[in-house]
Amino acid sequence: MKIVMVGSGYVGLVSGACFADFGHDVICVDKHEGKIEALKRGEIPIFEPGLADLVAANAEAGRLSFTTDLSGPVGAADAVFIAVGTPSRRGDGFADLSYVYAASREIAQALKGYTVIVTKSTVPVGTGDEVERIIRELRPDAEFSVVSNPEFLREGAAIADFKRPDRIVIGADDDRATGVMAEVYRPLYLNSAPILNVSRRTAELTKYAANAFLATKITFINEMADLCEQVGANVQDVARGMGLDNRIGGKFLHAGPGYGGSCFPKDTLALIKTAQDYGTPSRIVEAVASVNDQRKRAMGRKVVAACGGSVRGKTIAVLGLTFKPDTDDMRDAPSLSVIATLLDGGAIIKAFDPEGMDQAKPMLPPQVTYCTSTYDCLEGADAAVLVTEWNIFRALDLDKARTLMKKPVLVDLRNVYRADQVRAKGFVYADIGRGTAAPAVADSDAA
């Protein structure tokens, strides 16, 4: 089939490359000439494991191409996917749909013959209705259907998620559109991927409901971690005991510094706003968003406590900046709030991340020093804080780290290490909710 992907960002590029790998002819369209020229040269604008090779292989095979011209490809397409950004709108947190609607207007002008227009972007309930209204108003003669097909891609594992999905949700209100989408996803039939055919509005809400529920699981276990610290329990064992219940499951029950990234923060806010607009406020999701925001700065205060109650004039080594490993995404990363709290307390910040430093620089104050390696970051530090659990941080040479650091203090916000092993190396060690966090120490005690 001939597929056009409008938008060549994270979702558009991953989806386009995977569709091409299925054997479809895919053209990715983007207004940014620099991005398109870079993609033509094989330069990938985001870090996602395996994506560069997938793009290169399908471009070489002639199944995947890139252009800034929307009109020609749309006119020949069987399906046109809208995969543009829907960031949180300034002021009220609702999803900014201006890019979706702008793409809809351009698509309308280029339609020739029956075409299925698919919203791949995460959009609030009713967006598909508005997309249909826009196109119908501009092209009353056009033959088309508007479908919702939300993505469920985890950054760092997006290709595997696309090719071996838990489910494919297709929101279509007519059989003809459903038939086209079935053909689009036909290569996945061998994988027995469940295809859920629902109404368009149901599909739109399913995406938000799924993300809000996962964000709720993360926030819940983080609150349990705080309780564990006070009562001397181990949150990892609590999570394991919960997760073995099939009704709950063990995923997204890992205590840490709070959720971030491109989806959960903006999608919870958009769902909150939608629920309020319809007169059915979601108090649970409202609490989740509020608690998560507060937690990120609380993690900065945890570092301060581990340093004896003050970080003024002290050098803190921040290990990991991105919101999770295997991505360069800095959007709403916990590290941003942690670093802000430490800077407010007068700390000197050194930071290292394998992939995220270029993206972090515009988002962090200029006084942050970026290092070339883990041990470069640790050298001369009064304390280290492990914020993102990249693999390279999971097996630190603690003897070497102690030698390099001014004071051996490690704050492990991902519970990567065992407290007894780290303390045996002479470190002051603080973790999350395992009943092992040491009390605040005086400055001299951390030497």
Residue 218 lies in a domain: no
3-state secondary structure of 430: strand
Where would I find the H helices in 111-189?
A: 127-138, 158-163, 175-184
Q: How far apart are CA 309 and CA 212, in angstroms?
A: 35
Q: Are residues 422 and 307 in the same domain?
A: yes
- DSSP structural state of residue 320: -
Q: Residue 249 corresponds to which tokens in the numbers above?
A: 């499951």
Given 131, 165, 198, the domain boundary residue is 198
The terminus-to-terminus CA distance of the chain in angstroms comes to 66
80 pLDDT higher than 50 = yes
Q: Are residues 297 and 155 in the same domain?
A: no
Given 138, 168, 198, the domain boundary residue is 198
Tens digit of pLDDT for each residue in 398-413? Answer: 999 999 999 999 999 9
Residue 431 lies in a domain: yes
Q: Are residues 176 and 34 in the same domain?
A: yes
Q: Largest Cα–Cα distance of the chain, in whole Å?
A: 79
> How high is the pLDDT of residue 43?
95
To the nearest whole percent, how much of the chain has pLDDT over 90? 94
116 burial type by CB count under 10 A (0-12 exposed, 13-18 middle, 19+ buried): buried
Q: Are residues 187 and 310 in the same domain?
A: no
Q: How far apart are CA 396 and CA 393, in angstroms?
A: 6
In the block, residue with structure tokens 């990120």: 296
Q: Are residues 315 and 193 in the same domain?
A: no
Residue 148 lies in a domain: yes
Residue 219 lies in a domain: no
In the block, residue with structure tokens 């307390």: 345
To the nearest whole percent, how much of the chain has pLDDT over 70? 97
Residue 227 lies in a domain: no
CATH number at residue 398: 3.40.50.720
In this prediction the pTM is 0.92
Within 10 angstroms of residue 422's Cβ, the number of other Cβ atoms is 22
Q: Are residues 14 and 157 in the same domain?
A: yes
Say which of 18, 28, 228, 263 is annotated catalytic.
Answer: 263
Q: Are residues 179 and 312 in the same domain?
A: no
Query: 87 to each of 233, 264, 265, 370, how far by Cα in Å?
Result: 39, 11, 10, 28
Q: What is the mean pLDDT of the chain?
A: 95
Q: Residue 23 corresponds to which tokens in the numbers above?
A: 């054997």
Given 182, 198, 214, the domain boundary residue is 198
Q: 263 an active-site residue?
A: yes
Q: If pLDDT is split at 50, 70 and 90, which confidence band does 436 have?
A: low
Query: 431 to each of 59, 132, 416, how far by Cα in Å?
Result: 46, 51, 9
Tens digit of pLDDT for each residue in 239-248? Answer: 999 999 999 9
Q: What is the pLDDT averaged over residues 273-300?
A: 97
Tens digit of pLDDT for each residue in 369-422? Answer: 999 999 999 999 999 999 999 999 999 999 999 999 999 999 999 999 999 999
Q: Residue 205 corresponds to which tokens in the numbers above?
A: 């809400």
Residue-range definition of the domain harbouring residue 92: 2-198
Number of domains in the chain: 2
> How high is the pLDDT of residue 443?
45
Residue 231 lies in a domain: no
